[in-house]
Amino acid sequence: MAAVDDILRSYRRPGEVVRAHLGRARSEPRLFTLLFSALVVIFVGQWPRLARQAFETPDVPLPGLLLGTAMALAAVTPFIYLLAWLVGQGLRIFRGRGDNYGSRLALFWALLAVSPLMLLQGLVLGLIGPGLQANVIGGIVFAVFALFWAFGLKVTQFDAAGAPA
């Protein structure tokens, strides 16, 4: 339940949560677990939308849509790592003192922390369908993700406590 508690705390003090994660012993398996957990929740959040799509177009079965979505999320994983690395390198131009581990932590945690909102987005797309409501929720999800990632990058790349010695 610690991850759930941290996700809830992220909506009040996102930088503090990332700082706590950064204060733990470095562990690549833990970072991958954060990313994998986020991708699983994002995948589950897509089920209502995919069920609606399968209902509206019966020639494409739901299991095929689920498999395609799972494969797409698995295929995007290396690009998420690449994005974290590129952003970490790019922040060095702005005197970022952190390392790539911190950059990955900030991105992976932002994905996991915003995943409950992605569940809501999936419900809206599944129950209401595309439209204004889905666009508003999508904008909120993106804005919250960007804020979480920005706070995480500030802690891991610019704060004295977040920068490696």
Tens of pLDDT, residue by residue over 45-57, are 999 999 999 999 9
Please indicate, yes or no, if residue 118 is contained in any of the structural domains. yes
The 10 Å CB-count burial string (b at 16+, else e) for 18-55 is bbebbeeeeeeeebeebbbbbbebbbebbbbbbbbbbe
Which pLDDT score is estimated for 159? 78
Which pLDDT score is estimated for 162? 47
Number of domains in the chain: 1
Please indicate, yes or no, if residue 4 is contained in any of the structural domains. no
Please indicate, yes or no, if residue 119 is contained in any of the structural domains. yes
6 pLDDT tier (thresholds 50, 70, 90):
confident
Which pLDDT score is estimated for 163? 47
Which pLDDT score is estimated for 1? 53
Please indicate, yes or no, if residue 8 is contained in any of the structural domains. no
pTM of the model: 0.88
